[in-house]
Amino acid sequence: MFKKFTRDDIHSRSNVKSSIQRTLKTKLVNQYPQLEPVIDELIPKKSQVEVIKCEDKIQLYAVNGEVLFFQQFDELIPSLKLVHKFPEAYPTVQVDRGAIKFVLSGANIMCPGLTSPGAKLPDAPGFEKDSVVIINAENKDSALAIGRLLMSTEDIKSINKGHGVELIHHLGDPLWNFSIE
Protein backbone atom coordinates (compact mmCIF):
# COMPACT_ATOMS: atom_id res chain seq x y z
CA MET A 1 0.00 0.00 0.00
CA PHE A 2 2.85 2.30 0.76
CA LYS A 3 5.31 1.19 -1.87
CA LYS A 4 5.25 4.64 -3.29
CA PHE A 5 4.23 7.36 -0.98
CA THR A 6 5.57 10.87 -0.99
CA ARG A 7 4.60 14.29 0.11
CA ASP A 8 2.84 14.83 -3.20
CA ASP A 9 0.35 12.13 -2.36
CA ILE A 10 -1.03 14.15 0.51
CA HIS A 11 -4.21 15.93 -0.38
CA SER A 12 -5.27 17.59 2.79
CA ARG A 13 -4.54 17.83 6.47
CA SER A 14 -7.04 18.79 9.07
CA ASN A 15 -7.77 18.42 12.72
CA VAL A 16 -10.34 15.91 13.81
CA LYS A 17 -13.34 17.04 15.79
CA SER A 18 -13.33 15.78 19.34
CA SER A 19 -16.62 13.96 18.82
CA ILE A 20 -15.23 12.11 15.83
CA GLN A 21 -12.09 11.48 17.78
CA ARG A 22 -14.18 9.72 20.39
CA THR A 23 -15.85 7.52 17.79
CA LEU A 24 -12.47 6.72 16.33
CA LYS A 25 -11.23 5.60 19.70
CA THR A 26 -14.21 3.33 20.31
CA LYS A 27 -13.82 1.91 16.84
CA LEU A 28 -10.19 1.15 17.51
CA VAL A 29 -11.06 -0.52 20.78
CA ASN A 30 -13.80 -2.52 19.09
CA GLN A 31 -11.33 -3.81 16.58
CA TYR A 32 -8.60 -4.53 19.08
CA PRO A 33 -10.34 -5.06 22.42
CA GLN A 34 -7.10 -5.47 24.30
CA LEU A 35 -6.22 -1.88 23.56
CA GLU A 36 -8.86 -0.71 25.96
CA PRO A 37 -6.77 -0.19 29.09
CA VAL A 38 -4.16 1.84 27.24
CA ILE A 39 -6.24 3.72 24.72
CA ASP A 40 -6.25 6.87 26.82
CA GLU A 41 -2.53 6.69 27.00
CA LEU A 42 -2.20 6.29 23.26
CA ILE A 43 -4.65 9.00 22.42
CA PRO A 44 -5.06 11.22 25.47
CA LYS A 45 -8.43 12.87 25.82
CA LYS A 46 -7.00 16.34 25.44
CA SER A 47 -4.85 15.52 22.46
CA GLN A 48 -5.59 16.62 18.95
CA VAL A 49 -5.87 13.96 16.32
CA GLU A 50 -4.97 15.03 12.85
CA VAL A 51 -6.29 13.37 9.74
CA ILE A 52 -4.18 13.36 6.62
CA LYS A 53 -6.00 12.44 3.48
CA CYS A 54 -3.89 10.93 0.76
CA GLU A 55 -4.03 9.41 -2.68
CA ASP A 56 -6.19 6.30 -3.14
CA LYS A 57 -8.50 7.27 -0.29
CA ILE A 58 -5.91 6.46 2.30
CA GLN A 59 -6.33 8.37 5.52
CA LEU A 60 -3.62 8.64 8.09
CA TYR A 61 -4.38 9.58 11.65
CA ALA A 62 -1.67 11.28 13.61
CA VAL A 63 -1.35 12.25 17.24
CA ASN A 64 1.41 14.63 18.27
CA GLY A 65 2.96 14.43 14.85
CA GLU A 66 3.22 10.66 14.86
CA VAL A 67 1.11 8.57 12.53
CA LEU A 68 -0.60 6.05 14.78
CA PHE A 69 -3.05 4.37 12.48
CA PHE A 70 -4.51 4.61 9.04
CA GLN A 71 -7.41 3.37 7.03
CA GLN A 72 -8.15 2.80 3.41
CA PHE A 73 -11.68 1.54 3.62
CA ASP A 74 -13.52 0.94 6.80
CA GLU A 75 -10.93 -0.91 8.80
CA LEU A 76 -8.41 0.88 10.95
CA ILE A 77 -4.90 -0.44 10.62
CA PRO A 78 -2.31 0.38 13.27
CA SER A 79 1.04 1.75 12.16
CA LEU A 80 4.20 0.01 13.28
CA LYS A 81 4.98 2.77 15.74
CA LEU A 82 1.71 2.00 17.48
CA VAL A 83 2.29 -1.73 17.28
CA HIS A 84 5.70 -1.40 18.89
CA LYS A 85 4.21 0.49 21.80
CA PHE A 86 1.76 -2.24 22.65
CA PRO A 87 2.33 -5.40 20.65
CA GLU A 88 0.16 -7.71 22.75
CA ALA A 89 -3.10 -6.37 21.46
CA TYR A 90 -2.93 -7.56 17.88
CA PRO A 91 -3.14 -10.90 16.11
CA THR A 92 0.41 -11.93 15.39
CA VAL A 93 2.20 -14.32 13.12
CA GLN A 94 5.91 -14.99 13.07
CA VAL A 95 8.23 -15.56 10.15
CA ASP A 96 11.57 -17.30 10.13
CA ARG A 97 14.92 -15.58 9.92
CA GLY A 98 15.38 -16.23 6.25
CA ALA A 99 12.29 -14.24 5.40
CA ILE A 100 13.19 -11.04 7.22
CA LYS A 101 15.32 -9.74 4.42
CA PHE A 102 12.54 -10.04 1.88
CA VAL A 103 9.87 -8.68 4.15
CA LEU A 104 11.96 -5.62 4.82
CA SER A 105 12.10 -4.95 1.12
CA GLY A 106 8.34 -5.19 0.92
CA ALA A 107 7.68 -8.67 -0.43
CA ASN A 108 4.52 -10.58 0.30
CA ILE A 109 5.10 -13.44 2.67
CA MET A 110 5.06 -16.90 1.22
CA CYS A 111 3.54 -19.75 3.16
CA PRO A 112 6.74 -21.73 3.77
CA GLY A 113 8.18 -18.73 5.61
CA LEU A 114 5.24 -18.97 7.99
CA THR A 115 5.30 -22.70 8.59
CA SER A 116 9.01 -23.49 8.96
CA PRO A 117 10.44 -24.32 12.40
CA GLY A 118 11.46 -20.75 13.16
CA ALA A 119 8.05 -19.37 12.35
CA LYS A 120 4.91 -19.38 14.42
CA LEU A 121 1.28 -19.53 13.49
CA PRO A 122 -1.53 -19.51 16.02
CA ASP A 123 -3.14 -22.82 16.92
CA ALA A 124 -6.50 -23.70 15.45
CA PRO A 125 -8.89 -22.04 14.81
CA GLY A 126 -6.36 -19.31 14.00
CA PHE A 127 -7.23 -16.19 12.07
CA GLU A 128 -9.65 -15.73 9.22
CA LYS A 129 -8.71 -14.82 5.68
CA ASP A 130 -8.47 -11.05 5.13
CA SER A 131 -7.75 -10.25 8.74
CA VAL A 132 -4.97 -7.83 9.51
CA VAL A 133 -2.00 -9.36 11.30
CA ILE A 134 1.25 -7.99 12.55
CA ILE A 135 4.32 -9.86 11.51
CA ASN A 136 7.01 -10.65 13.97
CA ALA A 137 10.29 -12.38 13.32
CA GLU A 138 12.24 -15.15 14.88
CA ASN A 139 14.28 -14.00 17.89
CA LYS A 140 13.16 -10.41 17.53
CA ASP A 141 11.17 -8.38 20.01
CA SER A 142 9.49 -5.89 17.77
CA ALA A 143 7.22 -6.37 14.82
CA LEU A 144 8.64 -5.72 11.40
CA ALA A 145 5.57 -5.54 9.24
CA ILE A 146 1.82 -5.44 9.04
CA GLY A 147 -0.07 -7.47 6.50
CA ARG A 148 -3.37 -8.92 5.48
CA LEU A 149 -3.90 -12.66 5.38
CA LEU A 150 -4.56 -13.93 1.88
CA MET A 151 -5.74 -17.24 3.25
CA SER A 152 -6.76 -18.32 6.72
CA THR A 153 -3.98 -19.52 8.98
CA GLU A 154 -5.34 -23.05 8.84
CA ASP A 155 -5.14 -22.96 5.06
CA ILE A 156 -1.58 -21.72 5.24
CA LYS A 157 -0.69 -24.72 7.33
CA SER A 158 -2.37 -27.22 5.04
CA ILE A 159 -1.63 -25.78 1.61
CA ASN A 160 1.80 -24.36 2.41
CA LYS A 161 2.34 -22.85 -1.01
CA GLY A 162 2.16 -19.43 -2.56
CA HIS A 163 1.39 -16.06 -1.03
CA GLY A 164 0.21 -16.20 2.55
CA VAL A 165 0.25 -12.60 3.67
CA GLU A 166 -0.10 -9.48 1.63
CA LEU A 167 2.17 -6.82 3.03
CA ILE A 168 0.63 -3.48 3.91
CA HIS A 169 3.27 -1.68 5.86
CA HIS A 170 6.81 -2.64 6.82
CA LEU A 171 9.90 -1.20 8.49
CA GLY A 172 11.63 1.23 6.22
CA ASP A 173 8.80 1.86 3.81
CA PRO A 174 7.79 5.42 2.94
CA LEU A 175 5.13 5.50 5.65
CA TRP A 176 7.70 4.46 8.24
CA ASN A 177 10.01 7.25 7.11
CA PHE A 178 7.15 9.69 6.81
CA SER A 179 7.17 12.56 9.22
CA ILE A 180 4.91 15.50 9.65
CA GLU A 181 6.62 18.54 10.92
Partner 1 sequence: MSLREVVYCGVCSYPPEYCEFTGKLKRCKVWLKENHPERYTQLYGANDEEEEEANDVAAVGKKLGESSIGEERENKLEKDLLKLQTKQENREQRELAKKLSSKVIIKREARTKRKFIVAISGLEVFEIDMKKLAKTFASKFATGCSVSKNVEKKEEVVIQGDVLEDVEAYIHSLLKEKGMENVKVETIDTKKKKKPTTETK
Which stretches of the chain bind partner 1, using CB under 8 A?
A: 37-38, 41-42, 84-87, 96-98, 100-101, 104, 116-118, 138-142, 144, 171-172, 176-177
Please, what is the minimum distance in Å from the beta carbon of residue 130 to partner 1?
27
* Residue with Cβ nearer partner 1 (23 or 139): 139
Contact criterion met (CB below 8 Å) for 90 and 115: no
CB closer to partner 1, 98 vs 162: 98
CA nearest 179: which of 93, 67, 87, 25?
67
For partner 1, the closer of residues 3 and 101 by Cβ is 101
DSSP string for 101-114: HHHHTTPPEEHHHH
Closer residue to partner 1, CB minimum distance, 13 or 129: 13
Q: How near is the Cβ of 181 to partner 1 at its closest, in Å?
A: 9
| Alpha carbons 64 and 61: distance in angstroms, whole number | 10
SS3 100: helix
State the Cα–Cα distance between residues 15 and 161, nearest whole angstrom.
45
CB of 101 to partner 1, least distance (A): 6
Strand partners, 148: 132, 166
Q: How far is the CB of 39 from partner 1 (least distance, A)?
A: 11
